[in-house]
Structure formats: structure tokens, C-alpha cells
Structure 1
Amino acid sequence: MSVRYIESKKTFLLQTKSSTYQMKISDYGYLLHLYYGERLEDEDLSYLIQLQDRGFSPNPYEAGNDRTFSLDFLPQEFSSDGSSDYRLSSIEIKNGDGSYAFVGKVAKHQIYSGKYHLAGLPSLWTTEKDTADTLEIWLTDAVTQLTVVLCYCVLEEKDIITRSVRVINQSEDTIYLNRIMSMTMDFMDSDYDFIHFDGRHTMEREWSRNPLACGIQTVGSFRGASSHQHNPFAVLCESAANEDYGRCYGFSFVYSGNFMCKVEKDQYDQTRIVMGIHPKHFSWQMKPGESFTAPEVVLAYSGQGLTHLTHLYHNVYRENLCKSPYAKKERPILINSWEAAYFDFDEEKLLKIAGDAVDMGVELFVLDDGWFGNRNNDNAALGDWDVNTAKLPRGLKGLSDEIHAMGLKFGIWIEPEMVSEDSELYRKHPDWCLQMPRRQPSRGRYQLVLDLSREDVRDYIVTSINGVLGSARIEYVKWDMNRFITDAWSAIAEKEKQGEIYHRYILGLYDIMNRIILTHPEVLFCGCSGGGGRFDPGMLYYQPQIWCSDNTDAVCRLKIQYGTTFVYPVSAMESHVSVCPNHQTGRTVPIKTRGVTAMDGILGYELDSTKMIQEEKQICREQIQSYKKDYALIAEGDYFRLTNPYTFMEYVAWEHVSRDQKEALISLVIMEKEANDAQRCVKAKGLNPGMYYQVEEMEGHFSGQVLMSAGLPVPNGLLQYEAIQYHIRAI
């Protein structure tokens, strides 16, 4: 098995194909972290624990006068709270007697084949090809009998370890869980950089890299969603690490709500990283016998730099995350009506857009916002899921039938989690939204958030949306969320449970998605939250692709997609060609460049096809043909970031390489352009050095070694924002 317990050494050994994870039960019963890194064969690493008397670092009572044992500096798997460790805590408990303490010691453990299950939460799952083993370690507080179960699963061939935590109240008192981290990891050194991905609406997942400094660095979201501002993914890497070299550790949180990732460099130059549900306004009541399950963190280690870390995540998220059959299917090329029409449309206008899109090679027409209720702007009708017959007199079915008669598939936009005050639903059920008593609610986009912690609200949404999906032939749904949560108070929850609302909202959302998305495997669902405001593994469990950003500017998208690819596969990023001047930035970029950028994801179009000239339509036809020819390479191949747009300004380049190394596609967009500038070459990666290749855009044959070492010349004649692609195929 890939998980073993060595009784004589009191050590736990977890082995993936290329990495080792080791823990030890200390003399006093505490679970200490020994090692995570390159695979080691059966080595006992207990010698790494060096005890010494550290002034002002308290010692557990049972240590007597042994002043060398202190939890204030020892590396731990799950840190105690309220005892003798002053660093970031894994848990905060308010006990029945009012004390704040949890001191967990190893009580027992269990090892079994297969993967643990997290009830009500998305998580990685295993296929018949996977070898998976689970380790569960019970940490029990001898005074309160509160137990924390640490769950580890080793996906050996995938080089992945997952972690989660289950808290069980075995005491006779009601307690409150005020903080629970799904993962804690200690390192005995601190020469690391902290990489995370921040941003804002229309500029999501911007790459940020900084060396660790003494103290605590924090990223996270308290917006009720994973957010545009920060993504639930972080990397710790050696300060000298780059794409191809160095030790890198990845931490990806499979959750769509409030989250927190904190990294602490302590007084002894050690590092602790924790990740879990954001503790702000989180308080979970646990009566005797009740338990709480924390979401999953997916860990990956690379000793070969950031690119290899990316490949590990791409591989496991393509194979072991999304439940939709479309995760492994080629996606249709769509055109979306939003930037073409916004709310100003009728059936005739939509059919003209769809008809002209057929000539471009488009396969799917998507009707965006504005098709339901009295929805002529974004101030009304959310929650009223009846067709607006003034715009669509024959309903969705009539429009869908016409679209299908053209040879296209048909899709729609929905935003089921929200309600407008100007809606029939709100007039009937004002208490169904999150809204604090005696206060006027905050508005976002002039809409409120439905209380998904309520079963009656969830039932209404499921019945309404399933009714819509059954009313016409619908093959695609864009599921949006256009404001974050404020006023997190439920009209039916007890006052002692109002601190549970943020998390119960997410559990309610997952329940709704289980009852809608997973019961319609024939429908391709695309996630969205004002673009990339909820781009996380929890959403990818249900939806194989997510609208990457509301920003369709091809130049801005280069940075957005660059950051996204560090953990999320290309097959998860929906990316569209839109008009110029761009609606968000006013920038004008050649349509070829817009296509090349959008092909670094799931290609689609967001424009009015009736206003395009024939030359533009022909370019789009060629883009679609090229994309479909290379779809498997793009969606399933290994991904390489050839340049960093934050540090190299001349051009942005990336590469897709087939797993058998027989095909590659290099894409490049010119950025900063100077007159009479230098001759540059873009160097391929991931090819077989001994294999010979033909580059379609050039004459002659080249070895993989030549293409990776000498590279391909970037034509000097390209202007700013022009793009070029190199199609490379083995001879």
C-alpha cells in the first residue's frame, strides 16, 4: 500500500510515485510533521526533530521538567489551540465550560484502500485506473473528549495527496467550532517564495510572488464566494525556483465559499501554512454526538519547478474532479448573445445573429440574460423563471426549435441564486433572501441573495430551473452569480446558528447543483460569477468549464489566463473572441490575435455576427477549423508557460504538447514593440530531444533538441498585438 504505519518507529509513511510524506507520534502523543518532498525509500526521518530548551516557549504539563519539548517550535500536523503553541492554529473551539482550548493527541488510526468520502462536499474521486489509499488519524482531547479526525488520501500514480478534517463532539456539552483549517503544514526552513493569485472583477488571478518575511501573510475571501480578489490556490517554492527548476508545493482548496490561506514565518525561521474556511463570522454549533466535515485540500509536490506542479494539477483535475460527462468530451464552439445584444433583443434579432454565426462554423447559440420575467435591465425579475413572451412569443421552445433547424445547438443563461426586489418571487417571499433584521439590505447590481440554507428556497430553485430545462431542447447552461454575499442572516435560523450561514449557503448551493446539474448529464454547464469570481475546484466538480473573466480584451486575457493555468487545466477556461474596440477597455486588437488568445481555452464568440464583414467571418471559420483540428492537443496536452507577462514585456508565449510528444502548438502575441528591435527566438519545451519535427510555418526538419535549445525565430515584421502560431508535428 502507499500508506503504512511503522509501529517500531511510531511513524506514518505516505508514498506517491515521486514524493514522500512522513509523520511521527511523539513521546507525549502529539502528531509531528517530519517531511514532505522527493520520494525516499523507507527512511526514518525522526532524527530531524531536534529538541532544545527555547526560552519563553512553554512545555506541556506531561513533559515535567523536560524544557526541550515545546509545541511552540515543533513541526505539527494539526496544531493545538489555547495550550503552548503561539503560532497559527488549526482549530479554535469554545468548550461547554467557556474555555478556548483543544489539545489533541493520537488516539488511534485506520488505513484502508480507496478514498474517504466527504458528505455534501465536492472532492476528488477515483477511477478504476487509480490506486488510492486512505489514512485516518484520530486526535482526541483527553479533557473534553473532542476528537479531530485527520483524513489523508494518497493517489499514488497521480502524485497527489488530499487532506481533510472531521470534528466530532464526543463530550456531553454543546461546543462551538469557531475555526477549522482543512490543512496545516510545517516546514523547518523558510527560504520560500509565496505565490498566490489576486485581482479584481475583470482582472482575475493575477500572478503575485513574494519572499516570505517574518510574520504572517494572508490571502482569502470573505465575500461568500472564492472571489475575483483571491483564488483558493497557493504555492510555496524555493526562492530560486522557476518553471523548470526547484522545489514547489501546491495547495488547492476544493471549496467555493469564504476561504483563508495564511503563511507564517516564525521566530526560528520556520514556516507554517494553513488553509481552510475563513473564520470571520464562522461559528458552528455542535451538540453532543454531532460532527463537522471540512472541505478538501489537494496537495502536490514538484522537485522540477512550477511547470511540473502545473502538470500534476491539470492531470488530476481533468481526470478526478469534474462529474460531468463533458469533462472528457470535445466542447461545441458557441456564440453568446450578451455583448451582441445585452437586454435589447427579440426573437427575430436572435435568429439573425444565429443564422450569420452558422456561416462562421459556430455550433451552439447561447441566449444570455434578459429572456425571462419583466427583464429589460438588471434591476428586475431575477427569481421569476417564466419566459418573457414580449421578446419570445413562442417561448424558449419556439426559439430552440428554430435554432436547431439551422443546425445549431441551443443554450441559455440563468442566475438562480439571486432575487430582484422588483420580482414576483420577492413580493411573495421577502424572507427568502439573506437580510438582517431591522436593517436595510446592501444591494449589489440591485439584487439580493437568496437564502440557500433554507430547504424551501432550494426546492423552489430546483423545481423552477428543472422546469425551464424541461421546457425546450437546451444543451448548454451558463450559471451566473453577479453579486457577493452581505447581510448574512437567515430568517429561520436560531440566533446561535447565524454564524453557520455562510457555510450553509455553500452546502445549499452544492445540494442544488447535485439536484440540477448532476441530473442533467446531457447539458453542458458553464460556471460564471461576473466572469471569474467563483473559479475554483468546487465549481469544477459540477461544471467542466467556467467563464474565465467578463474582460474579453485579448491582451488583458493573456495575464488572466496565465495565472489561471498554474492550477486549472485549459479545458476549464471558457474564452471568447469579442469585437473591437473592446467593450471593457476600448483596445483594438487584430481578430487573428483575439482568436489565438481565445484558443488558449475553450474557444467561443461574444459578438454580433450580423455586423461582421465576410473577411472577418472567413478568419473565424479558419480559427474554428484550426482549433477543432488541434482540440485534443489543446484540451488534453501538457501546458507550458514559455514567458512570464509580468517580467518579460516583449511577447507572451505558451505551448501545448501532446502527452506522447508527437505534436506541439506554440502561440505567441507581440506586446511591447520597438522600431528596429532585436531578433528574438522562442524556445519550445516538452519535446522529445531525439525526435525530429516538421514546423508547418517553416521549411526544413528540426530535432526536438534544436527546437528546445535554439528555438524558433520570432518574425521581426510582426506589429504590436499581432500573433503567430507554430504547429509542430513529429515526422
Structure 2
Amino acid sequence: MGIIVQEQTGLFHLTSTGMSYILQIINGYPAHIYWGSRLKHRESLTDLLIHTPNQAGLDRLPQEYPQYGSGDFRNPAYQVELEDGTRITELTYKGYRVNPGKPALPGLPAVYTEDETEAETLELELEDAYSGLRVKLSYTIFAERNVIARSVRFCNEGQKKLRLRRALSASVDFAGKSDYEMVYLSGAWAREGNLTRKALHQGEIRIDSKRGMSSHQFNPFAALVAPGTTETQGEAYGFSLVYSGGFEADAELDSFGSVRLGIGMNAFDFAWLLNPGESFQTPETVMVYSAQGLGEMSRTYHRLYRTRLCRGQYRDRERPVLVNNWEATYFNFHADKLVAIAEEGAKLGIELFVLDDGWFGQRDSDNSSLGDWFEDRRKLPGGLADVAKRINGLGLKFGLWVEPEMVSPDSELYRKHPDWCLHVPGRRRSEARWQLVLDYTRREVRDYIFNSLSAIFSIVPVAYIKWDMNRCLTEIGSADLPPERQSETAHRYVLGLYELLERITKAFPDILFESCASGGGRFDPGMLYYMPQTWTSDNTDAAERLKIQYGTSLIYPASAMGAHVSAVPNHQVGRVTPLDFRGHVAMSGNFGYELDLTAFTEEEKTAVRRQVADYKEIRGLVQKGDLYRLKSPFEGNEAAWMFVSEDKEEALVYCFQVMAVPNAPRRTVRLAGLEPELEYEVRSGNDGACSVYGGDRLMELGLPLDMKQNDYESVWFRLKTAGAMRK
């Protein structure tokens, strides 16, 4: 396993335990031969290449990193403009290098290895002799995972300027898959993560973001799946971009039945000047192959992102149960009210209190004070340190909300530095939520934010930070960049954000950081590299969260998803759902509450106390277990999923009914991921009833469900083998 090179034929065979990826140099061009289940390496593998007719040109060649202008009329992976205004380059093969492990990408998040034996990396070097452009295609193959990480580095080794106009991270040409389908996540604010599936057709299916962020509308992910592919069977090819800015993913079916899927930074409004000697690194695309359906593709991503993308102390630690004051008080609070909520939380077993928006400047509504990161002594007479001390005295840790990428026009910061926001001179500065975006391309802006937050974190015992971003980028220009580099602003903004996040998370390694962008507007692998969890959606309605969390799990592990129980009627949709239903949905992620605990009845407090105690027992399995999706809320009235321990000895099952069903038939749910030969004690989390079933029976015949005839009904079960019970 690893990387096998046949220099005489120009063939490169990348192998893991269950996957092969094969390419070959054909007439100087890297050509794609095969990607799928693992093949034994034989000389005859070169026969896999789809031979093109004479004179067919590049339009029929399945390429690894295609160009435009030399006979290929499909979407190119890159485009470069030369100093004379022409846009024709032709990259041809110059050599290769194989290295153990996986190199880091300077200034960019990426998956990593902890030991060089985990992976090998192939670098193919290509050159356009006329311009002096050199390009390195990087492929990292993981030995024990069906994963390839791809990225590209452009170097100007010529004597004249070059301008990148397009620079995708990966492109793959598939032959014989014209009947495949594209799967992706779509949505909007408060309804992220909609699972969307479309059959390919001649032409293109494209998803993208031009918003300067990965966006609520589309996640930076796409998959090609065979027709009929389900959770448990069929081929799936996943492409996940480790990037937090504008992106594009495009599946193009040509007239010859070939599919080209490309993914990377959005070429719209992008250009990057390369002076002689300068280079440009693309973000990384993580490509996953599954021969066992979408479920195995997801679990491959989950294991990788949980352990080789997330970093820091909280990567492997159990996450605390929290209460957030936002929907309890919004901006209208004082120190004693916060402490009262925390006091009730302490009695119920909650471990962390989070103070949300409104603690700084003169922040009584959305329309002021962003950028003024100092305490509002009207609300907090003793300051943050006093509130934190009082809450710590109750046995809870203290957390805080910040929105450091934004500035309010009504703020001391903006009045002092009106040029510190993204803007174009002479043009209107578009406000959203009465705020503008700080220009993170500028070092002095990032330094101001770092110093302001550090001053707080150094004197206040902050254990958790919710880092929010509540608007997209507009008027994307920088007063600090020359005219020829204005089209670099959006990407430089993301690079500046990454630089700041690297600094601040290293300076304060004991803080658990959670990212947020009006919920899931920036739920992407790039942010998970710095912050191991994300606020999944501003929509806290449990019925809507079934879809949001189910869809998000297509790529991201439960350990990355913030999930809270909120008050009813729900503040986003007005729906009233039972506390148990809300709890069971939220317990399938990083669990917490976002409501006024002081307003709860004794009966509700008893229920919360039970939920918190249950979650503390199971959170290790939720955060580190393998997720199996059993019933899709996108396909019917029910949803179900389960978490299974690595050793198969423990599992959790959650089942949900949205609307009551009159005269309902007897229902079961077929489980997955268990060991067929083992016997499992199955205990209901609702009433404690216990039965013993074989793993084979649970997976083939199913687990009986006794759903009450109510709207918004849920049941959950804990499964343990005899071995697990002895531990």
C-alpha cells in the first residue's frame, strides 16, 4: 500500500487498504485512469486507460488538471493571463517526487498526519515552458483510509508577471458514469443542510458561493453517486473543500459521456498576481471513495475530520453541557439575571454558562458597538471578571460570545478608523444588520482584534468562546491593496482570518472555540481546523433540526455540531414541541440549552436534570462513535440514527416521529454497524424497559418501536454487550 510508480510507463498507482487511484502521463499530460475499490498492482493496469481516437485531441483525454485553449473545451481547472494579455498556457509533465507523511499547507488549514507512516504524498511537477509557470499537483493517500487529499501550488519561474484567473484544488474526469447523480447540501439561513440529489445531464450542475464565505446556501462539498446508491450500498465519490471563502463545485457531462467534477475557490471576481519568483497555494480538497454507500462515505469523513482536521485540547475531550442566555434575555439583561440563570443551571448539572451578545460597548440592539470590545458597566457593574467569578463560584465555567470580524458604523472603532472596513472609495457601504465587515487583509486590523480579545481573555477566566460572523462580504475592496491586487481581496480576507485564528487559538489553548456564522453560514472544514465545533443553525426548532443535523452529518461528525434545547413556542418558527423531543434531538450533538431556566416549572427542571445526567453518560459515544443514519427526515414522517462504539460493544439509537399517525402499523427500525454474533442488552432511555437481542436480529429484523400516538414523539435506546457492561 502507498504509492507505486512505473517510471517506464509513467503510471502512478495510489493505494490504501480499500481504494486505488491511478493516473498516467500520456503525451506529457497527467491522465486519469481509475478511482475506485482497491486493485492489485499489475502491469496490465495500463489497459484501463480509455484510448481516444487519433486526432481527437485533449477534448477526449481524461485529465487530472485540464487547461483551456489547447483543444479541451470543457471547464478548465486553472487559467492564467500572461503579461501580454493572452490566456493560453499548456502544462506538461516534468517530474515527480514521493514523500512520506503529509506536508502542511502554509497559511491554510488542511488535514494532517501524526506519524509519517499514516500517509504518502505524490507531487507531480508540470511546466509551461513559454511562460515559466510551474505547477505542483499534490496527492496525499492515507494508508488506512479511503481518502486522497489534493492541492495545487503555482510558481512563477519566468521573467514576466502572471495573473491567475482560476485555480481549482482538484479536477477528476470520470468515464462511464454518465448516469450518475450529484449530491450536495443546499438551503438558506435557518434551514441549512438540505440533502439535494440531481441526475447528471449533458451540460453542468453547479453549486457555488460568491458571498465571501462558504454560505448557508451551499456547503463546499459535492459527491457523485451511482444510480440507486443508498446509505448502505452503491458507489459514492466525495469532494470536500477545506476552505471558508467563496467556492465552486461543478459536474459537467459532455457529449461523449465523460463527467468532469472540479472543486475549488470561486473563479468569479478572483485574480492573483504572481510576480517573478512568487507562488500561490490553493486550498485542499479531501476526496473520499465509498463502495458501501453514502453512510460509509460519511463515516470516513467523520473519522478523518474528528481526528486529523480538528486540533487542540478539545479534539478528544468530552464537550461540556452549556446554557446560553441569548434566547432567554436577548440584549436585555444585567449581572444578577445572568447569575440567576447560572444558579439554576448548576442545580441541574449544567457545566458551562455562556454570555451571548450585548455585554460590550453600548450594545442594546443590533445597531451599535461591534468593534468596541470593552465591558458595558451599565449591565455589568463589576465587569466580566466579576460575573465570571460569581458563576465559577457556582461550579460552572464561563463562556463568552464575540463577533470580531465586524464593525458597527455606530461605534468608537469606526469613528476612529472608518477605512478599516472592506469598501471601495466613492461607493456606498452596504450595511447588513447595521454592520460592516472589517478588512482582515490588513495586519493592523487583525492586531487590534487580537489585542482587544487577548486583553479580555487574559483577565477573565473564559473557558469557551462563540466566534460569530453575521453577514456576507460586499464592496470587496481594500484601502491597503494596490489596484492590480484588488481582486485578491476576498481570498486575502480568508487568509487573514486564518492567520488571526492560528494566533489566538495558540495563545489561549485552554479555551474551547465554537465557530458560528448566523448558524451554519460558515460550517466548513476550514473553520474546524481552528475550532472543533460549529453552531449548526440559528434555527433551534427540534423538528427542523432533524433535517438540518441529518443533512450536515453527510460530511461532518456529531462532535462538530452545536445543538441546543430552546424555549417553546420556538422563536424561529413558533412551533411547540415536547421537552423530551427537543432534548433527544439536541443530545445527538454538542448538547446545551438556550432559554431561561429560571422560568421552568419543577416538572421541567426534573426533566432537564435527567437529560443532563443522561447526556453526561453517553456524550463520549455521541462525540466519538460511528454515526449510522437509519431513516431520513427528507423522505417521510420519521427520522432515526444511531451511534456505535469502535469496538461494536455499545450503541445509542434515536428515533423520531414528527406527526402522529392514526391506526399506525407495528413499527421497527433496522439497526446498523453492530456485531452480528454479539448479544445486546437494549434498554429504553424513555422508560427503562430492557430486552436482549442478537446483533443479527437487530440489523435484519429490526428493533420494535412503541411510538405513542402524539405529534413530535421520540424514543431512544442504549445498547450494551456483556463485555461493555463489565467495563
Whole-angstrom distance in 1 between the partners of 2:713 and 2:104: 49
Provide the TM-score with structure 2 as the length reference. 0.97
2:295 match: secondary structure: helix
Whole-angstrom distance in 1 between the partners of 2:682 and 2:634: 29
2:215 match: secondary structure: coil
Alignment of 1:416-427 (within 5 A): 416-427=404-415
Specify the alignment match of 2:696 in structure 1: 705
Specify the alignment match of 2:725 in structure 1: none
2:507 match: secondary structure: coil
Kindly state the Cα deviation for residue 154 of structure 1 after the two structures are TM-superposed. 1.1
Specify the alignment match of 2:129 in structure 1: 142
Specify the alignment match of 1:213 in structure 2: 201
Q: Deviations over 1:231-255 (max 9, x none)?
A: 0111111011111101111111000
Kindly state the Cα deviation for residue 623 of structure 1 after the two structures are TM-superposed. 0.7
Whole-angstrom distance in 2 between the partners of 1:460 and 1:393: 25
Specify the alignment match of 2:657 in structure 1: 670
Judge conservation of contact 2:102–2:116 (CA < 8 Å) in 1.
no
Specify the alignment match of 2:434 in structure 1: 446
Kindly state the Cα deviation for residue 548 of structure 1 after the two structures are TM-superposed. 0.5
Kindly state the Cα deviation for residue 86 of structure 1 after the two structures are TM-superposed. 0.3
Specify the alignment match of 2:14 in structure 1: 14
Whole-angstrom distance in 2 between the partners of 1:124 and 1:569: 15
Judge conservation of contact 2:662–2:709 (CA < 8 Å) in 1.
no
Specify the alignment match of 2:669 in structure 1: 682
Specify the alignment match of 1:45 in structure 2: 45
Whole-angstrom distance in 1 between the partners of 2:116 and 2:87: 45
1:86 to 62, 73, 90: 73
Q: Deviations over 1:640-665 (max 9, x none)?
A: 1101111122x111111111111111
Specify the alignment match of 1:101 in structure 2: 88
Kindly state the Cα deviation for residue 672 of structure 1 after the two structures are TM-superposed. 3.2
In structure 2, relative to structure 1, the CA distance for the partners of 1:405 and 1:129 (3 Å cut) is farther
Judge conservation of contact 1:419–1:426 (CA < 8 Å) in 2.
yes
1:727 aligns with 2:725: no
1:584 match: secondary structure: coil
Specify the alignment match of 1:57 in structure 2: none
1:33 aligns with 2:32: yes
1:618 aligns with 2:600: no
Whole-angstrom distance in 1 between the partners of 2:691 and 2:542: 32
In structure 2, relative to structure 1, the CA distance for the partners of 1:451 and 1:700 (3 Å cut) is closer
Judge conservation of contact 2:707–2:713 (CA < 8 Å) in 1.
no
Judge conservation of contact 1:248–1:305 (CA < 8 Å) in 2.
yes
Specify the alignment match of 1:183 in structure 2: 170
1:116 match: secondary structure: coil
Specify the alignment match of 1:197 in structure 2: 185
Judge conservation of contact 1:250–1:309 (CA < 8 Å) in 2.
yes
Judge conservation of contact 1:323–1:518 (CA < 8 Å) in 2.
no
1:218 match: secondary structure: strand
Whole-angstrom distance in 1 between the partners of 2:89 and 2:68: 5
Whole-angstrom distance in 2 between the partners of 1:717 and 1:476: 39
Specify the alignment match of 1:656 in structure 2: 643
Percentage of matched positions with identical amino acids: 44
In structure 2, relative to structure 1, the CA distance for the partners of 1:52 and 1:727 (3 Å cut) is closer
Judge conservation of contact 1:91–1:102 (CA < 8 Å) in 2.
no
Specify the alignment match of 1:63 in structure 2: none
Unaligned runs of 5+ in 2: 723-727
Judge conservation of contact 2:644–2:674 (CA < 8 Å) in 1.
yes
Whole-angstrom distance in 1 between the partners of 2:184 and 2:130: 39
Whole-angstrom distance in 1 between the partners of 2:563 and 2:209: 25
Whole-angstrom distance in 1 between the partners of 2:254 and 2:573: 43
In structure 2, relative to structure 1, the CA distance for the partners of 1:152 and 1:700 (3 Å cut) is same
Whole-angstrom distance in 2 between the partners of 1:162 and 1:382: 38
One-letter amino acid matched to 2:665: A
1:347 to 332, 335, 358: 335
Q: Deviations over 1:548-585 (max 9, x none)?
A: 00000000000000011111000000100001110001
Kindly state the Cα deviation for residue 439 of structure 1 after the two structures are TM-superposed. 1.2
Whole-angstrom distance in 1 between the partners of 2:309 and 2:117: 13
Whole-angstrom distance in 2 between the partners of 1:329 and 1:145: 49
1:584 aligns with 2:575: no
One-letter amino acid matched to 2:601: I
Whole-angstrom distance in 2 between the partners of 1:404 and 1:694: 39
1:352 match: secondary structure: helix
Judge conservation of contact 1:158–1:315 (CA < 8 Å) in 2.
no
1:608 aligns with 2:596: yes
Whole-angstrom distance in 2 between the partners of 1:284 and 1:325: 36
Q: Deviations over 1:19-63 (max 9, x none)?
A: 00000011x21110000100001134322334344xxxxxxxxxx
One-letter amino acid matched to 1:672: M
Q: Deviations over 1:598-618 (max 9, x none)?
A: 011000000001100111111
Whole-angstrom distance in 1 between the partners of 2:290 and 2:512: 33
Alignment of 1:550-569 (within 5 A): 550-569=538-557
Judge conservation of contact 1:130–1:157 (CA < 8 Å) in 2.
no
Whole-angstrom distance in 1 between the partners of 2:690 and 2:393: 45
Whole-angstrom distance in 2 between the partners of 1:377 and 1:215: 48
Alignment of 1:460-539 (within 5 A): 460-539=448-527
Judge conservation of contact 2:11–2:24 (CA < 8 Å) in 1.
yes
Kindly state the Cα deviation for residue 699 of structure 1 after the two structures are TM-superposed. 4.3
1:691 aligns with 2:678: yes
Kindly state the Cα deviation for residue 674 of structure 1 after the two structures are TM-superposed. 2.4
Judge conservation of contact 1:396–1:471 (CA < 8 Å) in 2.
no
Provide the TM-score with structure 1 as the length reference. 0.97
Unaligned runs of 5+ in 1: 54-65
Judge conservation of contact 1:679–1:716 (CA < 8 Å) in 2.
no
Specify the alignment match of 1:72 in structure 2: 59
Whole-angstrom distance in 2 between the partners of 1:711 and 1:192: 31
Kindly state the Cα deviation for residue 129 of structure 1 after the two structures are TM-superposed. 8.0
2:544 match: secondary structure: helix
